[in-house]
Amino acid sequence: MDRKLLDILVCPTTRQPLALLDNAGLDSLNRAIATGTLKRGDGGTQTDALREALITRDRKTVYRIDDGIPVLLAEDSLATAQAEGFPGA
């Protein structure tokens, strides 16, 4: 992801800065997705594994990146508290 774009992106709900999610965080969320327990902000189940994602500074909310495009919609956000053992949460 372009560094200049990343520098200006913020969470649409909390206005916190966003950063790329590390591999440990991706692995944790993808395990929860594989078990069918990860829900999006709209209550729907996240079924597709994450390849890339952005995370808020407080590490509570994740937004997926689809084909290099951040999906910054509150209804598509993922709460990290749902993923057991999520690092740094």
Task: Domain ranges for the chain, please list them.
Answer: 3-82
What's residue 89's pLDDT?
61
Residue 19 pLDDT = 95
CA distances to 8, 21, 88 from 2, rounded to whole Å, are 11, 14, 25
Residue 23 sits at φ, ψ, to 5 deg, of: -60, -35
Dump pLDDT digits (tens) for 64-76.
Answer: 999 999 999 999 9
- List, in sequence order, every residue forming a beta bridge with 56; answer none if it has no partner: 18
Confidence of residue 1 (pLDDT cuts 50, 70, 90): low
Neighbours of 48 (CB within 10 A): 9
The mean pLDDT value for 40-48 works out to 96
Report the candidate in 71, 55, 50, 53 with the shortest Cα–Cα distance to residue 18: 55
- Tell me the whole-structure pTM to 2 decimals: 0.92
Please report which helix (H) or strand (E) contains residue 62, including its range.
Answer: strand 61-66
